[in-house]
Amino acid sequence: VEPMSRRNSNVHTGLPNPTSDAIKCSLIKGDYLYFHYGCDGQDDRGWGCGYRTVQTLSSWICHNCSPPKNHSRPVPSLPEIQQALVTMGDKTHSFSGSREWIGTFEGSLVLDHFYDVPCKVVHVRGGGAELEHVAVAELHQHFEKHSSPVMMGGDRDNSSKGVLGVWTGDKGSYLLVLDPHYCGCELDRTELQRRGWVAWKRVSSLDQSSFYNLCLPQTARLLNVF
């Protein structure tokens, strides 16, 4: 299951930097496809954002990781993701075919199940200091070592999002956020960027009363040479 056009690949390319005062910038390497509401014809508005972020991470693994067996396993569909979670005993049979959400923990199970990629799940307590220091440090370290996109979600801010990079400047940090909530006709990357579906977001703009979880695919040992 993949979006119809390669126009949906690497949609952050060409996005301007958030500021001119970079102290440190860490980004993903390699290719991915942007999965979002309805991109494969299934109407998952209101419940499918976590699945779409998992699909984006899966596409990155398919394109950038060895051994070759990872390339023979296509990006799983939403029904396949649900069935996998039932098969491994994380969900009951009623979950299959439902509109129940999934989060970072389920995302980690799915990536391990389909691709043998273990994930580190990091819990970041609410509050600006935790986000600005704990989350940012984890993300810099992750992108430098593993190069893969990250899944992010929380409690009060329960909208799943992909994170493709982190930028630290003199006046705070930014996350490069890929938002799976777009639904509509296919847009090219310039239009997606203009509308903010992929954008640099100030860490301080995140919900300061929400905790956040990060699902960090541990892909260093599987990487092809970029």
51-70, pLDDT tens digit by residue? 999 999 999 999 999 755 54
Coil, strand or helix: which one is 210?
coil
Residue 16's pLDDT is what? 95
Q: Let me know if 49 is a catalytic residue.
A: yes
- Identified catalytic residue from 63, 113, 157, 181: 181
Euclidean distance between CA atoms 51 and 33, whole angstroms: 14
- Asked if the bond preceding 76 is cis, omega within 30° of 0, the reply is no
H helix or E strand, kind and range, residue 129: helix 128-129
Euclidean distance between CA atoms 47 and 218, whole angstroms: 26
Euclidean distance between CA atoms 115 and 53, whole angstroms: 15
- Identified catalytic residue from 44, 119, 179, 215: 179
The segments of the chain whose pLDDT lies below 50 read: 2-4, 70
**Could you say which DSSP state residue 135 is in?**
I
Residue 130's pLDDT is what? 85
Nearest to 102 by CA among 44, 47, 38, 161: 47
Residue 3's pLDDT is what? 45
Coil, strand or helix: which one is 153?
strand
Residue 155's pLDDT is what? 82
- Identified catalytic residue from 39, 49, 62, 119: 49
Q: Let me know if 43 is a catalytic residue.
A: no
With 0-12 CB in 10 A as exposed, 13-18 as middle and 19+ as buried, what is 83? middle
Chain-centroid distance, C-alpha 87: 23
- Return the amino acid letter for 143: F
Q: At what angle do helices 104-115 and 49-64 cross, to 10 degrees?
A: 30
**Could you say which DSSP state residue 4 is in?**
S
Residue 72's pLDDT is what? 65
Q: Let me know if 179 is a catalytic residue.
A: yes
This prediction has a pTM of 0.94
Residue 4's pLDDT is what? 42
